[in-house]
Amino acid sequence: MQLRLPRYTSKDYIIMLWTMIPFGVILNILIFGKQYFSGWGIFLGATFITTAATFIDFTLCGGVAVILKKRFPLDSEVKKRLTIMIIVFLIISGLFLYFLFSGYAWIRFYNYSFNQSGFTLAYISMGVLNIFLTFLHEGVSRFELWRANLYETEELKKTVKQSQLLGLKSQVNPHFLFNCLNSLSSLINESETEAENFLNEMSKVYRYMLRNDDDILISLDKELSFIQSYYALLKARYGDGIQLEINVNEKDKECLLPPLSLQVILENAFSQNTTQKTSPLKIQISSNKNGEIIIKNNVQRKTITDGLDYEAGLDNLVSRYRLLNHEQLTITDKKSERIIHLPLIKCKEEVSL
């Protein structure tokens, strides 16, 4: 069975190590005076005995401190706890010093006899040390409690933000599923072959969604592969009324971004703009030297649009970037063009939640 000594803080025995040995030397000087340095025998023997006795005293006081901390744990009880600690420590220290001085006299250690003036000075010194160590340990204890609470708070914030991110991401799927089912229903009536091809592409898209359902970030390369399948669904739905051009640097494909980011932007674009064969909606996806993905689309507004729902999807994406504590995406609306700058996250970059 492992012996576990009482601990008021995690630094108890570090503090004890730095105070016990120096105080033991001082205590021996008060007990023996100059005789303490008269030979190696008395120096080493007295140092060992006094240090061992001091360790017992410190441990006993530590046990009392732990008991009182459990008995009076509230912040409102700190003054009461510390007052009782100091009184008990002074009593224990007085008894400890009396038995130590008397013990040396009883065994006639190097002909020592009880030194009353040395005992008084030792008791005053130990009393001051006890008061100092009491406040020091309480300060360390409160600091450790503050640090633990801070860590727990940060972990809680991180957990909440992760839940918010996953919740926001899941809001994208119902819109997409509804549109896909509508398109599939139409294709079944028109062409079974096209409907089958559409269903195959749809399965690829949803396989991507399901595999990355719990991911906060995904590589741009995987996101672009997904967009290619997603674009195939759009082509089946809109035909030549929509055109997509992708021109991204190979090195940027290793960077990260929130999953379905590009899907949200594409769906936002074709939900608000007309898509006609004679006047197609043109979407360009490229990257720049600033570590950003640039998504451009020409503006040809619908007379009646359900764009408010998809603007909510874009707001969703903005919120996801905000929760990632990363650079915000920027949207520039011109008369004939909308440009969205989507920041990429480096693979080695830590995202602070």
Determine how many CB atoms are found less than 10 A away from the CB of residue 12.
21
Q: Tens digit of pLDDT per residue, the chain (353 long)?
A: 444 556 777 777 777 778 877 888 888 888 888 888 888 888 888 888 888 888 888 888 888 888 888 888 888 888 888 899 889 989 988 898 899 888 888 988 888 888 888 889 888 888 888 888 888 888 888 888 888 778 777 765 665 555 455 444 554 556 666 777 777 777 777 777 778 888 888 888 878 777 665 667 889 999 999 898 888 888 877 788 899 999 999 999 999 988 888 988 888 888 888 888 889 999 999 999 888 999 999 998 887 655 445 566 677 777 777 777 667 888 999 889 999 999 998 865 555 55
With residue 286 as reference, give the H or E element that holds it: strand 281-287
Tokens 């918010």 -> residue = 164
Residue percentage of the chain with pLDDT more than 90: 13
CA 144 to chain centre: 17
**pLDDT tens digit string along 164-205?**
554 445 545 566 667 777 777 777 777 777 788 888 888 888
Q: Cα(43)–Cα(177) distance, rounded to whole angstroms?
A: 85
In our burial notation (b when 16+ CB lie closer than 10 A, e otherwise), range 131-152 reads: eebbeebbebbeeeeeeeeeee
Domains and CATH numbers, the chain: 12-160 (no CATH), 171-343 (3.30.565)
Q: How many Cβ atoms are within 10 Å of 253's Cβ, its own excluded?
A: 16
